[in-house]
Amino acid sequence: MCRESLSIAYSIRRIIKLSIISTAFLCLALLRSEEGLARAVNPVDLQLVIALDVSTSMDLDERRLQRDGFAAAFREPEIIQAIQRGPNRRIAVIVMEWAGETRQNVILEWTEIADAAGATAFADRLERRIPGRMALGTAIGAAMLRAAQLFGESPFDGGRRVINIAGDGINNRGPEPAIVRDRLVARGITINGLPIVYKSMLEGVVDRGDGRELRPGQLAAYFDREVVGGYGAFVEPVFHKQDFARGIRHKLLREIRGPDRLAADSHLEGGWPAR
């Protein structure tokens, strides 16, 4: 009798355990289903990660130029028109600051922009941010990896995923950008570059971080060769301080419209050619 009771108790415990496990798997499946549904009902034409260089080589004036340039661009009617001419008439944007290998910080979370009001609100939030400053070198490859992770955290679903990375120097910490670039391109991600050339042109050199120097005219070529990649990828170098805002606006227009729509926009000529 005692053995029968123990057997029954064991069977009950086993049934309860299996029920708990089954319930857990069911909850996980429902959660994944809800996540998939959330993405399906939030389609956008573009998911854009804006990655701003705030390494110690970037002075406060440059960091403000980055911030204000993007804020001003999102207030431009031409940007709004480009967004609203896409199939889904909306994009999603997130902003990240970066510097050394372990120095990446999201300053504005994923935001949907579909009209002038949304774009202005986004620009206002960005403009109110005090630009950060982080040390430990210039880790472009690590910044690209973190930017790619942000797509997995996005509540939106978009056919194009683009990383817009700005910087005033070359990689001197962490993984090589070209290796990271190739991995991300294989996943369907496009990386575009905004090399800030004008300061290095004034100083005469770009610090490699290893005691060697790089001619300033080579910085844009470095971005083109080692950083950018993917369908329609391009480099938009900033050669003059006064052209910072124009360069950002031009770059955003190309990214929002995408390579397929860009071919019909003859007034968007200039910059480095798309791949």
Can you give the pLDDT at residue 168?
Answer: 86
Coil, strand or helix at 102:
coil
Can you give the pLDDT at residue 63?
Answer: 84
Write the DSSP string, 103-158: -EEEEEEEEEE-SHHHHHHHHHHHHHSPP----S---HHHHHHHHHHHHHT-S-EE
pTM beyond cutoff 0.85: no
Can you give the pLDDT at residue 183?
Answer: 98
User: 190 lies in a domain?
Assistant: yes
Residues 83 and 139 in one domain: yes
Residues 138 and 172 in one domain: yes
Residues 33 and 66 in one domain: no
CA distances from 32 to 26, 36, 112, 171 (A): 10, 6, 22, 37
User: 273 lies in a domain?
Assistant: no
Residues 65 and 33 in one domain: no
Spatial CA neighbour of 107 closest among 125, 91, 121: 125
User: 265 lies in a domain?
Assistant: no
Residues 16 and 65 in one domain: no
Can you give the pLDDT at residue 9?
Answer: 52
Q: Which CATH number covers residue 169?
A: 3.40.50.410
Please state, in angstroms and rounded to a whole number, the distance separating the CA atoms of residues 272 and 75.
25
Q: Can you give the residue range of the structural domain that contains 103?
A: 43-259
Residues 27 and 140 in one domain: no
Question: Hey, how many other C-beta atoms are within 10 angstroms of the C-beta on 63?
Answer: 19
**Number of domain units in the chain:** 2
Do 170 and 229 form a contact (C-beta atoms < 8 A)? Answer: no
Phi, psi of 49 (to 5 degrees): -100, 115
Q: Which amino acid is at 235?
A: V
pLDDT below 70 — which residues of the chain?
1-41, 134-135, 198-217, 262-275
DSSP conformation class of 223: I
Can you give the pLDDT at residue 142?
Answer: 95
Residues 11 and 138 in one domain: no
